């Protein structure tokens, strides 16, 4: 059980992201640091979350569950017409659904990492860190599912077709690791962006949700660092054909993941009676929401440019998908 403060862990791990890894020795040293941090600064899904503390009880009518002001649905007349209890239940439904989506995404991530590590040679330091990450993600999934179980909401998360597509990603950990790690960033970066904004917003947050988010962003900083530096180190070594394929496939995956993570699911929309025109107003045709999606993928976009898979043709694809910053 870690007794360290999540904010301090987050800052220490986040510092790795901006580091330049230009040699095999530097990459190995980074992996050693990340592995050491996973030993020194890790969290347990049950020992480090006081689930049975009365202050952590989930009451669906608690006003702290109301949708955060940075969510564009709060600016619609439809949302403002809801009672406080309806707003709280909608906000909790959104949180619970994202928890379910998160653990489903992390299931794919864990299996893909195990596929990646399976064929690594003996003494490869990536093996140890990959397993540290799998262990940490397993604790995240336990936290998320426990939250879902205690919420009283029976959420589906991904639809069957989406789950089927997600399963095809697992094999990329072995067949095309670079594309798999862009998938990792596509799922983790948008949620990391949203959670950090929420923690810094100053708005009231339920203590259970705040505890889970602080643990999550702390350990995800290491996971994001590993994925970014793997790509910085390995993508330049890919063949021209693989680099071209990566340049096309990466934004397509990022688009799909961002849509899944940042727009309410069909189940949430139907369960809460959100009119279609409200969904269009708040998300699908909202320039502010489009900019939020772009912002959530800023680091991934910069990484794609840094590793050389963001040429003029690729930029057209990013722009067509709405993943490119609007011209001033």
**Separation of alpha carbons 222 and 37, rounded Å:** 8
**Separation of alpha carbons 162 and 109, rounded Å:** 15
In this prediction, residue 26 has a pLDDT band, given cuts at 50, 70 and 90, of: very high
Q: Which has more pLDDT, 16 or 129?
A: 129
Q: What percent of the chain has pLDDT over 70?
A: 92
Strand spans (E) along 17-163: none
Predicted local confidence at residue 269, as pLDDT: 96
**Separation of alpha carbons 147 and 144, rounded Å:** 5
Say yes or no to pLDDT of 61 above 90: yes
- Angle (CA) 266 259 219, round 5°: 110
**Separation of alpha carbons 85 and 65, rounded Å:** 9
In this prediction, residue 14 has a pLDDT band, given cuts at 50, 70 and 90, of: very low
In this prediction, residue 6 has a pLDDT band, given cuts at 50, 70 and 90, of: very low
Work out the average pLDDT over 237-266. 93
Predicted local confidence at residue 106, as pLDDT: 96
**Separation of alpha carbons 100 and 111, rounded Å:** 17
Predicted local confidence at residue 326, as pLDDT: 82
Question: Is the distance from CB of 184 to CB of 223 less than 8 angstroms?
Answer: yes
Predicted local confidence at residue 9, as pLDDT: 46
Say yes or no to pLDDT of 92 above 90: yes
**Separation of alpha carbons 288 and 236, rounded Å:** 35
Packing angle between helix 84-118 and helix 177-200, nearest 10 degrees?
Answer: 150
Work out the average pLDDT over 85-98. 97
User: Burial code of 37-71, b = ≥16 C-beta within 10 A, e = fewer?
Assistant: bbeebbbebeebbeeeeeebebeeebebbbbbeeb
Predicted local confidence at residue 115, as pLDDT: 97
**Separation of alpha carbons 178 and 228, rounded Å:** 10
Quote the pTM value: 0.89
Kindly state the tokens that stand for 101: 């989506």
Say yes or no to pLDDT of 21 above 80: no
Predicted local confidence at residue 4, as pLDDT: 40
Work out the average pLDDT over 50-54. 98
Say yes or no to pLDDT of 15 above 90: no
Give 154-184 pLDDT, tens digit per residue. 998 998 898 998 899 999 999 999 999 999 9
Work out the average pLDDT over 216-220. 96
For the chain, give the mean pLDDT: 92
Domains assigned to the chain: 6-320 (1.10.620.20)
For every residue of 63-85, DSSP letters joined together read: GGGSPPTTSGGGGSHHHHTS-HH
Predicted local confidence at residue 240, as pLDDT: 94
Work out the average pLDDT over 49-67. 97
Predicted local confidence at residue 23, as pLDDT: 65
**Separation of alpha carbons 150 and 285, rounded Å:** 35
Say yes or no to pLDDT of 5 above 80: no
């Amino acid at each position: 059980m870690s007794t360290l403060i999540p904010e301090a862990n987050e800052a220490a791990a986040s510092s790795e992201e901006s580091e330049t890894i230009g040699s095999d020795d530097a990459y190995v040293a980074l992996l050693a640091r990340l592995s050491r941090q996973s030993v020194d600064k890790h969290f347990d899904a049950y020992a480090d979350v006081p689930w049975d503390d009365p202050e952590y009880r989930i009451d669906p009518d608690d006003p702290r569950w109301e949708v955060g002001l940075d969510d564009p649905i709060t600016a619609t007349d439809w949302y403002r017409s809801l009672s406080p209890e309806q707003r709280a239940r909608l906000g909790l439904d959104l949180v619970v659904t994202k928890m379910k989506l998160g653990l489903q995404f992390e299931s794919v991530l864990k299996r893909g990492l195990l596929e990646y590590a399976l064929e690594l040679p003996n003494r490869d330091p990536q093996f140890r860190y990959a397993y540290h990450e799998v262990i940490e993600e397993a604790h995240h999934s336990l936290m998320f599912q426990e939250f879902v179980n205690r919420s009283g909401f029976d959420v589906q998360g991904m639809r069957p077709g989406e789950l089927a597509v997600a399963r095809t990603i697992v094999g990329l950990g072995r067949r095309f690791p670079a594309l798999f790690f862009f998938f990792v960033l596509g799922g983790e970066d948008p949620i990391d962006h949203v959670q950090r904004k929420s923690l810094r917003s100053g708005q009231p947050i339920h203590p259970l949700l705040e505890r889970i988010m602080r643990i999550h962003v702390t350990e995800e900083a290491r996971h994001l660092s590993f994925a970014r530096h793997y790509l910085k180190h390995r993508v330049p070594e890919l063949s021209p054909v693989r680099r071209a394929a990566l340049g096309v496939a990466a934004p397509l995956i990022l688009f799909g993941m961002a849509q899944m993570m940042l727009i309410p699911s069909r189940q949430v929309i139907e369960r809460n009676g959100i009119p279609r025109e409200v969904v269009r107003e708040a998300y699908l045709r909202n320039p502010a929401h489009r900019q939020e999606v772009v912002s959530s993928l800023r680091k991934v976009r910069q990484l794609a440019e840094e590793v050389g898979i963001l040429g003029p043709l690729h930029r057209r694809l990013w722009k067509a998908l709405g993943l490119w910053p609007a011209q001033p």
